[in-house]
Structures are given as structure tokens and as C-alpha cells.
Amino acid sequence: MKQKKMKLTILGATGSIGASTADVMLRHPDKFETYALVGHRNSQRMLELAEQLKPEIVVMTDGDAIAELQGKLPQGVLLHEGMDAAVAAASEASVDMVMAAMVGSAGLPAALAAVHAGKRVGLANKECLVTAGRIFMQAAKDCGADVVPVDSEHAAVHQALLGHDHGSIRRIILTASGGPFRDRDPASLVNVTPEEAIAHPNWSMGAKISVDSATMMNKALELIEARWLFDMPADKLSAIIHPQSIVHAMVEYRDGSVLAQLAEPDMRSPIAYALQTGERLEAGIPWLDLAKTGRLDFQAVDTERFPAMRLVQTVMQGNDTLAISMNAANEVANQAFRDRKLGFMDIVRTVEAVLAKVENIPVDSLDDVWSHDREARRLAQEMIVL
């Protein structure tokens, strides 16, 4: 019997994760079909994707991009505008799976809509869990949504947890490449340019996450992401520098056994893992040849060099508003750095200064999430302009 295809909505289709998702889906045309492609501004890229994936609808959240695409999409593809249309595309009844790959907390409404609709959700957009992890995971439980990690470290943990008892976990260890400045003298980082920060040694990614990798704010966000995804207290979560990015994460069990997941650093691997529901999928990534790799190195994270990793300890021990504010202030500071309005070393300094000013309280409604998000953005903007 012919198997029914899995129908997807891809949020953030025009980005780096969107491209890798399309690549994996196009390798398996018998297994996947596309309901909606959702993008923001990049109409040219959306046009290419629409021709390849033949979705039922295209959504652009930016008005100018809509004007650019008018009359250009393949025959029969409908064009919708705005975040409400993205939310609708994520919760559409005929959709089986939503790939949540927008960037920043801007992606939360659509990803959460997919959760509320009980979809299988491939979660790349880690900022959703950093800002609203408690609400997001509770909604998944209540609505029967399956949240599958796409972030490579979390996909690795997910695999190392399969078939094991949650109570037997002693520690989850995420690896971090250390980014392009791992060995640079911190004093030399003052004048780093956005181009240097974005040039990641192992991974090809979008601009925001590449800068987050250079500051290691990315690993800080990932520790919080892991806390919600795997329901783990902060003291059981840690990170270690591993420059080769071959081991993606490890889970240590009570009996001293440590399970690791290894693969070449290519996001198509965790994406293929998230897209499968039974048999594993061929992902198109190079085969791992450890004899050629030669060595796998590990070292402790130096929190002097990477203050974001010191900051996240305070955030994880505090209440929800700290994580919301850390994420929001970082989004503003990261963008200001890419716009050349802020120095590299001032990104985390700005986040720290914002954290010193905000409330430290639990949050249980989305309205409160957004009001703390807005306040942290306002404080960060104010400091950057000063």
C-alpha cells in the first residue's frame, strides 16, 4: 500500500534551516509534500523555493515582499500576507508537521499555534523555549503536540535518551565549538567586524545565530532550551567546548555510562531525524570518517572569555523574566552589532546591564511574556543609543 505523504508547513522557509529542510524533503519526494512556505522579506528566495516545493500557499510577513511576489508564483499557489496568515498556516487542519525555523521570539506565535493545533513540531527556533518554555511545553502536553528538537545538540540528546529512564540521568552535556574567536585574545575582540563574527569555522548558519555562536550566547540559549525540552533542572545541564563539532551532545547516566551522538556538522542530519517517524532518512551529509578526523578535543568553557556562559547560570537559577529579558536584550544587541552600532564585546555587556535592571519573577501568561520582552528591548535600545 502506498504510504500517505507527510504534509509540512515551513516557518522561516527562506532561511538557512529552511534551505536544509527543503534539501532533505526534495531527496524524498515520495514521503513529503508542502502545504505552506512562510518567509519574511526574501521574495527572490521564496520564488525559487515555491518552484521546487510546489506548496499550496506562500506566506510573507512583510508587505513589500508580497508586492514583489504578486503574479510571479507558480500556477495555483496562493499568496497570503502577515503573521496572522503564518499562524493559520501553522495550524491548518491538513498539516501533519510544522518546521519552526523563524529566528527570534518573533517566531513564537506561529510555533505556539502549531503546538495548540497538536502538530508534530520540528523546533529550530530555540528563542521560543527561552522566552516561553514553560507555556510552550505545557501546551504541547495539553494538546498532544510532539515537539522534536532540530537544534543539533538537542537532537543528539533526544537520540541518547531513547529507551532510557529519565530518573537515571545524571547530566546532559551540550558541546560547543567555541565559535570563530575560541582562541583569540579577548583584548583583540574589541574591533571585530560582523563579517568576522559571522564566519563560523564549522557551521553555515543565519547571521543572528552565527553572532550568538561567537559570543557563546547561543550555548546559553541552548542550555535554557534543554531545560524545557528535557524537563531537566539547571544543575544537571552543562556545556563543554569541542572544536571539531563532531560529538553534538552527551548524556551521562547514574551508572557512569555516557552516551554521545556523533555526526558531521551538517544541519540536514538533525533535520532528517526530526522529519522521520519510523525509518531513518538519507540526509545527504558526508559520512563520518573518524580516522580522517584524527582527534576529538574537549576543554572546559572559559567564562571569563565567554561571559554569556556565566550570565546564563544566574538566569537559570532565577525566574522566567530573566530568560525572557536575556533573550530580548540579546536580540537587540546582536542586531545592533550587525548594524555596526555596537561593539562585539558590548553585546553581552548590554545583556548583563539589562538583566541588572529587570524584575526576577515567574511568568505564566503570554501577555506577560510579551510585556517583559518589550521592556527588555526598550532598556537595551536605550543603552545602545546612549
Question: Which partner from the list ligand NAD, Mg ion, none does 326 bind, CB cut-off 5 to 8 Å by kind?
Answer: none
Q: Is 127 in the site for Mg ion (CB under 5 A)?
A: no
Binding site for ligand NAD (CB under 6 A): 12-18, 39-40, 42, 61, 101-103, 106, 124-127, 151, 203, 205-209, 267
Radius of gyration of the chain (CA): 20
Cβ-based nearer residue to ligand NAD, 39 or 307: 39
Q: Is 266 in the site for Mg ion (CB under 5 A)?
A: no
- Report CA-CA distances (Å) from 184 to 179, 214, 243, 314: 10, 11, 14, 26
Question: Which partner from the list Mg ion, ligand NAD, none does 127 bind, CB cut-off 5 to 8 Å by kind?
Answer: ligand NAD
Rounded least distance, CB 232 to ligand NAD, Å: 19
Identify which range of 23-31, 144-152, 327-335, 375-383 contacts Mg ion by CB under 5 A: 144-152
Q: Is 375 in the site for Mg ion (CB under 5 A)?
A: no
Helices (H), 117-187: 127-143, 152-161
The closest residue (CB) to Mg ion is 151
Rounded least distance, CB 167 to ligand NAD, Å: 29
With cell 526576577, the residue in question is 360
Cβ-based nearer residue to ligand NAD, 8 or 191: 8
Rounded least distance, CB 252 to ligand NAD, Å: 23
Rounded to an integer, what distance in angstroms lies between the CA atom of residue 152 and that of residue 267? 7
Rounded to an integer, what distance in angstroms lies between the CA atom of residue 101 and that of residue 206? 11
Answer for the pair 297, 244: CB distance below 8 angstroms, yes or no.
yes
Rounded to an integer, what distance in angstroms lies between the CA atom of residue 184 and that of residue 1? 58
**Residues β-bridged to residue 172:** 237, 251
Q: Is 151 in the site for Mg ion (CB under 5 A)?
A: yes
Rounded least distance, CB 142 to ligand NAD, Å: 24
Question: Which partner from the list ligand NAD, Mg ion, none does 247 bind, CB cut-off 5 to 8 Å by kind?
Answer: none
Answer for the pair 249, 153: CB distance below 8 angstroms, yes or no.
yes
Q: Which long-range contacts link 341-346 to residues 24+ away (Cβ below 8 Å)?
A: 341/384, 342/384, 343/190, 343/191, 343/192, 344/189, 344/190, 344/191, 344/192, 344/197, 344/214, 344/215, 345/186, 345/189, 345/190
Question: Which partner from the list ligand NAD, Mg ion, none does 18 bind, CB cut-off 5 to 8 Å by kind?
Answer: ligand NAD
Question: Which partner from the list Mg ion, ligand NAD, none does 124 bind, CB cut-off 5 to 8 Å by kind?
Answer: ligand NAD
Instruction: Report how many residues bind Mg ion under the rule CB under 5 A.
Output: 3
Q: Which residues bind Mg ion (CB under 5 A)?
A: 151-153
